[in-house]
Structure 1
Amino acid sequence: MEFNPGPPLLQSAPRRSFLKFTGLGLAGVALASAGCHIQKETPSGRLDIGEHDLAVLNYAYALEQLEGAFYEKVVAGFYGGASALEKDLLTDIRNDEIAHREWFSDVLVLKKVPRLQFDFSSINFTDRKSVLTTARTFEDLGVSAYNGAGQLLALSPFLNHAGKIVSVEARHAATIRNLLNFGSFADSDVIDANGLDGARTPAQVMALADKYFVTKISVADLPTH
């Protein structure tokens, strides 16, 4: 379940060379030169994540940091009774989330939010149900976040890559659901009558995810269409 950033020809290339080759490096440079302020607090005390595509990518970067930090903690000390299969799957998912996180870190160059701090005190990492239920929440939330924010991106290379990432997130969600309840990989609570995943706006996503963020971020300046 390792994250694949591109066609086989490019897989052996260093990540920064890959970004340059695909044009994402140039887009990242454009973001770096944009006149946007990062690490500036809003009047509410939240971290300003920029404007336009910069804001959308920083929003996704913040969510990938959340998922990465969660799975790092899960894998660092598996819950009691975790099977070999569960350990392998959760380790693979951790590796994917770290790859996603580091991709955003590279693309955002100098205009990125810092590494954020998270509060996982509501999660019992020694309990299988607590861990997998939280993992399901994060994966479902991630899928709906990409579906809701993809339309807000103006630069097509970013939109193309976000589409690849959300397909991996959906695989994660199905895997976790199957571990919790075999055969429940695409329940009606996340798939509509047309067989489509749901979408959430950044405000809706952060309303659900905010309790896990010690470092609070503001999505108020994200584009709305």
Structure 2
Amino acid sequence: MKNTELKVKDELQEESLFNGSLGRRSFLQFAGASAAGLALVAAGCKKDRGYTDTTMGATLDFKDDFGVLNYAYALEQLEAAFYIKVASAPPASFSAAEKAYFQDIQFHEIAHREFFKNALSTAAIGSLEVDFSSINFTDRTSVLGAAKAFEDLGVAAYNGAGIRIKTDAYLVLAGKIVSVEARHAAYIRELISVGSFSDLNDLTGLGANVAGGLDASLTPDKVLAAAGKFIKTKINVINL
């Protein structure tokens, strides 16, 4: 197990994946392709990690960092599925620029999802079944409202999970990803209401501290409860 964890750490520190010299679209394509090469040799870990079972659902075991990484993987699956659906058939009222940016966000979320999937390898939970029946994908207001909910919740989830991460490399990775999620949240907010991109007032329910200038932060149980309406797969949480 120790060798596996060391290898995960090495992979997460791979600079080429997050090389700032890459162009935006080149980065997105590169990240998606390179993540496929980050598979870990995690043999022997299957007994004490969480896995998706067709009858029991997915289990997130928070006894160590792998549980937190699987938690992030679950949320990235949800976001990627949402943006793939929007990007494939955006509301007719979206401008050309908005369609392009939603394509970009889609690629970010796919890169995040695939990174966690391949980095966790056999320690990863399976694919989650989503439920977007409450979202009208032909309606701009419905799509933007859902996007705002996903992004704000995603930021709160990463912020709230950071304290549970014990490995420095994982914490650095989470910090890189949450900063991208925060950019998404700011952009979506600006589309809904100009000038609202930095407003924390409506995030107090997600744990934001307006006076302290601190962003939203929620524990995994609260995040999963909020995300539950969009996930069909039963998610079991242990050792939280």
Q: For this structure pair, what is the TM-score category when the shorter chain's length is used for normalisation?
A: 0.7 to 0.9
Provide the rounded CA distance (Å) in 1 between the counterparts of 2:97 and 2:66.
38
Which residue of structure 2 aligns with residue 80 of structure 1? 92
**Whole-angstrom CA distance in 2 between matches of 1:98 and 1:16:** 10
Any conservation in 2 of the 1:59–1:219 contact (CA below 8 Å)?
A: no
CA RMSD of aligned residues (A): 2.5
Contact 2:35 2:114 in 1 (8 A): no
Aligned to 2:214: 196
Report the 3-state secondary structure (helix = DSSP H, G, I; strand = E; otherwise coil) of the residue aligned with 2:94.
Answer: coil
Amino acid at match of 1:49: L
Unaligned runs of at least 5 residues, structure 2? 1-15
Paired residue for 1:47, among 42, 50, 58?
A: 58
> In 2, distance between residues paired with 1:149 and 1:206?
12
Q: Provide, for residues 109-133 of structure 1, a one-character-per-residue CA deviation record: whole Å limited to 9, x for no partner.
A: 1111111110000000000000000
Alignment-derived partner of residue 15 in structure 1: 34
Aligned to 2:6: none
AA paired with 1:199? S
Structure 1 residues 48, 56: CA separation in 2 closer, same or farther (over 3 Å shift)? same
Q: Which moved more, 1:9-18 or 1:48-57?
A: 9-18
Q: CA deviation at 1:7?
A: 3.0
Q: How has the CA–CA distance of structure 1 residues 36 and 74 changed in structure 2, closer, same or farther, with 3 Å as cutoff? A: same
User: Given the alignment, which residue of 83, 94, 114 partners 1:71?
Assistant: 83
Letter in 2 for 1:70: F
The amino acid that maps onto 1:197 is D
Deviations 1:10-34 (CA, angstroms, capped at 9, x unpaired): 9779736985xxxxx7xx54x6543
Residue matched to 2:234: 216
2:5 alignment counterpart? none
Report the CA distance between 1:53 and its aligned residue: 1.0
1:1-225 correspondence to structure 2 within 5 Å:
5-8=17-20, 15=34, 29=41, 33-34=44-45, 35-39=47-51, 45-50=56-61, 51-187=63-199, 188-190=201-203, 191=208, 192-222=210-240
**Secondary structure in 2 matching 1:122:** coil
Which runs of 5 or more structure 1 residues have no equivalent in the other structure? 20-24
Counterpart contact for 2:36–2:118, Cα < 8 Å: no
Match of 1:22 in 2: none
1:46 CA drift (Å): 4.1
Counterpart Cα distance in 1 of 2:212 and 2:178: 18
Q: Give the superposition deviation at 1:48.
A: 1.4
Identity score, percent: 48
- TM normalised by structure 2 equals 0.79
Residue type of the alignment partner of 1:201:
T
Mapped to 1, the partners of 2:89 and 2:21 lie a distance apart of 36
C-alpha separation in 2, matches of 1:40 and 1:17: 20
Cα offset for 1:178?
Answer: 0.3
What is the rounded CA distance, in whole Å, between the counterparts of 2:190 and 2:36 in structure 1?
37
Deviations 1:58-98 (A, max 9, x none): 11100000000000000111112110111011111111000
TM-score in terms of structure 1 length: 0.84
Is the 1:143–1:166 Cα contact (8 Å) retained in structure 2?
Answer: yes
Contact 2:49/2:66 (<8 A) preserved = no
CA displacement, residues 201-221 of structure 1 (integer Å, 9 cap, x when unaligned)? 000101100111111212233
Q: Which amino acid aligns with 1:189?
A: D
